């Protein structure tokens, strides 16, 4: 019986110590946890789509069909800023020099439309082509993608 009494006292002491430590946490750790919570809140606010411009493209894929080798295919993607802040396109990149974007760096107000013209130069290419074009803007996420596709056909050789 005496042994059980000491075990109970030891367990009560351990539980009281845990309770005391949990309630009296380190103030530095509490401030750090509060700072982390504020950072998480700020991050959530900045990721909120209502705080950013939104680039909305009706169709982000353009299929040119057959393009004769050496020809240039042009297409203009229309988009709308459906966000609440002005949209600014910083740059537009493609995966090769055959795909050249043209766009304005002027801000697009909320509710307004803009355009991105893509020129695809087929010289030296043949077969199925899939060319992504990446838009870097002040949107969330910062990167959007347009894609053009076509089938470049080589000119037929004249037979003698």
Q: pTM for the full model?
A: 0.67
| Cα–Cα nearest to 124, from 152, 147, 101 | 152
**Three-state secondary structure call for residue 10:** helix
**Start and end residues for every CATH 2.60.40.10 domain found in the chain:** 53-153
According to the model, what pLDDT value does residue 42 have?
47
CATH architecture of the domain formed by 53-153: Sandwich (2.60)
Q: Is pLDDT of 11 > 70?
A: no
Question: In sequence order, what are the residues at sequence separation of 6 or more whose Cβ sits closer than 8 angstroms to the Cβ of residue 100?
Answer: 94, 118, 119, 121
According to the model, what pLDDT value does residue 159 have?
56
What average pLDDT score do residues 27-56 get?
62
């Amino acid at each position: 019986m005496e042994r059980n009494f000491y075990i109970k006292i030891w367990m009560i002491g351990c539980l009281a110590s845990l309770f005391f430590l949990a309630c009296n946490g380190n103030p530095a750790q509490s401030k750090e946890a509060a700072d982390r919570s504020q950072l998480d809140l700020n991050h959530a606010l900045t990721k909120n789509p209502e705080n950013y411009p939104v680039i909305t493209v009706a169709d982000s894929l353009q299929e040119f069909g057959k393009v004769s080798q050496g020809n240039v295919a042009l297409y203009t993607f229309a988009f709308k800023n459906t966000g609440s802040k002005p949209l600014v396109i910083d740059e537009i990149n493609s995966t090769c020099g055959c795909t050249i974007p043209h766009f304005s760096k002027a801000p697009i107000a909320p509710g307004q439309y803009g355009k991105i013209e893509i020129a695809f130069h087929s010289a030296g290419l043949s077969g199925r082509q899939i060319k992504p074009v990446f838009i870097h803007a002040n949107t969330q996420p910062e990167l959007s993608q347009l894609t053009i596709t076509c089938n470049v056909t080589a000119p037929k050789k004249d037979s003698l």
